[in-house]
Structures are given as C-alpha cells and as structure tokens.
Amino acid sequence: MVQAGTNTAIGLVGYLLIVAAIGYWGSRRVDSEEDFYLGGDQLPGWALALSERSSAMSGWLLLGMPGLAWSVGLSAVWVLAGSAIGAIVQWIFYSRPFMEGRKETGAVTPTGLLAEKFPGDTPVLRLLPALITFVFYMGYVGSQFLAGGKILQQVFGIAPRTGLVIIAGLIIAYSLAGGFLAVVWTDALQALLMVFTLVILPITLFAQVAADPSFSLMGRLAASGGNRASWFGGTSGAAVLVLLGANLSWFFTYLGGYPHLAARMMALRDEKDRRLGVVIASFWTVLAASGAVLIGLLARALYGAPQALQADREMVLPFMILNNMPALLGGVLLAGALAAMMSTADSQLVVASSAAAQDVYNKVIAKEREFSEKVRLRISRIATLFVGAAGLAIALTAEDLVYMLVSYSGTGLFSAFGPAFTLLFFWRDNVSKAGIICALIVGPAATIAWISLGMTSIVTVRLVAPPLGFAAGIIGSLVWPPDGPTERPVSASTAQD
C-alpha cells in the first residue's frame, strides 16, 4: 500500500477540522430536545436528502462496493441496482408519511412515532423498538469506528486502536455538541465529498487511458478471468434468478427499515422540501452508485491483483487515489472515504441515543415527571455520550462481536421496522398494536435464527426474515384487530398536494 505524504495529510486533516467546526456551530443553534433530534424545522430539504444518502450508503459504498466490483466484476452492479432503486422508491412513497406523521403526533423519534399513532401509551411499543434500535446499531456504530481506524492505519501508518479512538472521539464530540443539526450539515458536506470522489476519480482514470487505443475495459475484465466481464458472473438458467434475487433483494432494506434514514424524512418542513429531496436523493444515488462500480472495475483492468488488494479488497479506493491523484487532492478524496463512515456512525449514534433518552427514559422510566427543555436537552446529550461510549467500548474490546452484530443489523432492522412502518402507512385502518408488536418480534428473531443456523448459504436472509415480519404483522392484526378508529399518518397515495 502506498502511504500518504504531507500534502495528502493536509487535505485530510483540513476536512476533519471543518467537521469539528460544524459541530461547534450546530451546538450554538440547539435550544430544545426537538432541535437536538430533528433540527427544529431549521433544515432545508436538499440538506436532509444529502444527509440521508450519505448516511445510507456510507463506507459500504466507498469501500465495500469498489472492492466487490474489483473482486467479481460486472455482476456487482446488481447489488447497487437493488439498493439504488429501493432508496429512490423510499423517498417517493415513504417521505411524506414520515413528514406528516411527525407533524400530526409531535413525535421526535421514528420509534416514538410508532407509539404515538395508537391510542393509549403502551410501554412495550416504546421499549421494544428502542431495544431493537440500540442492539443492532451498536454493532454498526462500532464497525464504522473500526473502519475509520483501518483507513488511518492503511494510509498513514497510524496504529489501529489510535485511529479508531481519534475517529470515534471526533464523531461523538460533534454529535454530542450539535445533535441532529450538526449531524445533518456534516453529512451533507460528506455526501458532496463522497459523490465528488466517486465522480472525479473515474473521470480522471478514463482520461488517463483515453490516449491508449488498445485499452478496452471489457477486454481486460475478460482477460482477468473469473467471468468478470459477465453481467451474471458466468451463471445461467436458474442460477441467474438466484443471483438476481439475492442482489436485488437489497431493494427491500430501504423501505422504511432504517430509523436513522426515517429521521431525515420526519424532519422535512413541507411538501416543497420533500419534492426537492426526492430529486436530490435520486440524482445523487445514480451518480454515486455508478462511480463506485467503475472504480472497482478500473482497478482490476489497470492494476490486476496487486498484493495490497489481495490482502484487503476494501482498500481499492485508497489504493486508486494514492496511485493516481495529486497529493493534496488525494487527501480531499481520501476524506470522502472517512466521510462515508462518519456520516453513518453519527446518524446512528443520534438515533440510538434518541431511542434511549426519549422513548425509554422520558416516556417510560420518568413518565410522571416534568422536565424543562434545558433538562431534556441535557438528558439527550448524556444519552448520546453513553451510546457513543458503548459503541467505542465494543469496537475496542470485541471486534468479533462487532462483525456478528453487523451481519444481523441491516436485515434485523428492516424486518422489524419495514413491516411496522409500511403497514402503519399503507394498511392504516387495519393494523393494530398487536400486529406491530408481532412484526417487531418475529422479523429480528427470524434474522438471528436464520444467520445463526447458517442458512444464508442456501437462501439470503433478506428474502426470508422481512416477509416473515410482514406476515407476523398482518396475522397479528387479524387475530387481535384494532380496538377502534385511530389516527394514522397520511399515506403517500392518499395525501393531497
């Protein structure tokens, strides 16, 4: 691995200082619990859309996808096709119900929205979603801390634990200071940096090879073997359907299944902002997804299989930047890789802390007590510090636990919250508390059981656990129907412009 020089370090450190400054700025604009968790209607739609996209794609897009494309070739495109289409559909159909639901109920957290939409205050509808959020996000937060330390180690030679603590400390600090406001604005900056990295680098690489008439991307992929020039990885017949089913199933994970993404949609101010968000999110997703795959394919075509990438394929992006870009610009582009991890970790940190502070402490443990806004804000910050410290402790002491939790996290979250919010929004008069509780229990339980039994090698858990969550929600609502008419969020199909 080529290590960075002084100018590259200047570009990277400069970016980190900007992030710290945004955190401080955000802290000056947070006066209430709603400001801390949803921005208090201070955020424009374009910033929320960029924040949502950078939080959703994160290091998976900048490190994982180029590495996958380098490894398997063209067939990697189906993973991104599934997730990109799912993300766009989520913005079109789910953003309005989340926005209207927050306005109707006054909920300040996605998990709280579930409880607020039913009559009476059922503690289990607060405790169960909060527990799911905390458990699955802790592994995710820890993995982002580990990935940040990994970047600093591979590129700058910093000891892994030192780099991990540096990244974790910065993320916890600006999240603690500025809450949702600071997180969204840093994420928006990170989204711009990410898409800049994923567009500029492929354009630069294509410009370098344009003068060589003998260069053929498809020809070199074919020559590298492994069916890398095949859209279906060399499979045929039923195997093609299996490949497409497994990869396109990422579509379902974005349909209301991630509370940290739902929070961005809840924070939308009005329909104008929502529509702008749909356009920005869709455009960003197409650009970023295309660039991530191209970088991996170009790495294979131009460099083959160097030892550095054989040792760790997730270092494709840093490898390509350090070998092909001017030092200072390379530092800025490398900041895009760190930005990806930070944008996910900070978002999940704030959402997990909101579940702990708002839905567990304020609404259940201290339900009978009245707190001033100043005290509520202090509780929110204490919860953020606690959750961040827990994520850091897991990353430092139990790396195996981190990766185990991450293997469950995406599907575990969607199989719980995807059915819950989808049924709440689009089966509005029929879903009951019991149905929501059934979905919240069965989806994650099926995820853990399927992975623990090693069944993912037969059928991906993404095609098993979410349908079971939906089935549980529907059956539970039929067996224990709603007690009476309840107020529901306006659905995307019935709301009027």
Retrieve residue 187's tokens: 């994420």
Q: How confident is the model at residue 2 (pLDDT cuts 50, 70, 90)?
A: very low
Nearest Cα to Cα of residue 113 among 363, 473, 343:
363
pLDDT of residue 495: 42
Q: How far apart are CA 189 and CA 147, in angstroms?
A: 19
Q: How far apart are CA 36 and CA 30, in angstroms?
A: 6
Q: How confident is the model at residue 407 (pLDDT cuts 50, 70, 90)?
A: low
* Other residues' Cβ atoms within 10 Å of the Cβ of residue 36: 34
Q: Is the confidence at residue 131, as pLDDT, over 50?
A: yes
pLDDT of residue 78: 92
Q: How far apart are CA 139 and CA 413, in angstroms?
A: 12
CA angle 104, 105, 107 (to 5 degrees): 130
Average pLDDT, the chain: 82
Q: How far apart are CA 300 and CA 302, in angstroms?
A: 6
- In order of 62, 67, 183, 206, 397, the CA distances from 291 in angstroms are 9, 13, 25, 12, 35
DSSP string, 118-130: SSS--THHHHHHH
Q: What is the mean pLDDT of residues 157-170?
A: 81
pLDDT of residue 496: 38
The highest-confidence range among 57-71, 282-296, 364-378, by mean pLDDT, is: 282-296
pLDDT of residue 497: 40
pLDDT of residue 6: 67
pLDDT of residue 402: 56
Q: Is the confidence at residue 488, as pLDDT, over 70?
A: no
pLDDT of residue 491: 42
Q: How far apart are CA 121 and CA 113, in angstroms?
A: 12
Nearest Cα to Cα of residue 344 among 413, 286, 393:
413
Q: How far apart are CA 457 and CA 464, in angstroms?
A: 12
pLDDT of residue 373: 67
Nearest Cα to Cα of residue 34 among 354, 344, 349, 353:
354
pLDDT of residue 336: 64
Q: What is the mean pLDDT of residues 152-173?
A: 79
pLDDT of residue 339: 66
Q: How far apart are CA 379 and CA 253, in angstroms?
A: 31
Q: How far apart are CA 96 and CA 106, in angstroms?
A: 15
Q: Which amino acid is at 429?
A: D
Contact (CB, 8 A) for 358 and 37: yes
Retrieve residue 44's tokens: 């424009």
The model scores a pTM over 0.95: no
Q: Is the confidence at residue 489, as pLDDT, over 60?
A: no
- In order of 45, 104, 271, 333, 489, the CA distances from 496 in angstroms are 19, 15, 10, 43, 13
* Other residues' Cβ atoms within 10 Å of the Cβ of residue 225: 10
Q: How confident is the model at residue 423 (pLDDT cuts 50, 70, 90)?
A: very high
pLDDT of residue 371: 66
Q: Which amino acid is at 19?
A: V
Tally of CA atoms within 13 A in the half-sphere of 30 that contains its CB: 30
Q: How far apart are CA 169 and CA 171, in angstroms?
A: 6
pLDDT of residue 63: 77
Share of the chain above pLDDT 70, in %: 88
Output helix, strand, coil percentages for the chain, rounded to the nearest 5.
Answer: 80, 0, 20
* Other residues' Cβ atoms within 10 Å of the Cβ of residue 2: 14
Retrieve residue 283's tokens: 């455009």
pLDDT in tens, 236-281: 888 888 888 888 888 887 888 888 899 899 999 999 999 999 999 9
Q: How far apart are the first and last CA of the chain?
A: 54
1-10, 156-165, 174-183, 219-228: least confidently modelled range: 1-10
Per the listing, tokens 């200072």 go with: 328
Contact (CB, 8 A) for 107 and 355: no
- In order of 101, 138, 190, 360, the CA distances from 344 in angstroms are 24, 12, 10, 23
Determine whether domain 6-398 maps to CATH 2.60.40.1220: no
Q: How confident is the model at residue 400 (pLDDT cuts 50, 70, 90)?
A: low
Q: How far apart are CA 153 and CA 159, in angstroms?
A: 6
Retrieve residue 302's tokens: 């131009």
pLDDT of residue 399: 61
Q: How confident is the model at residue 230 (pLDDT cuts 50, 70, 90)?
A: very high
Which helix (H) or strand (E) element contains residue 398? none
Nearest Cα to Cα of residue 235 among 382, 401, 74, 101:
74
Nearest Cα to Cα of residue 284 among 87, 33, 68:
87
Q: How far apart are CA 271 and CA 358, in angstroms?
A: 27
47-51, 112-116, 370-374, 392-396: least confidently modelled range: 370-374
Q: How far apart are CA 153 and CA 147, in angstroms?
A: 10
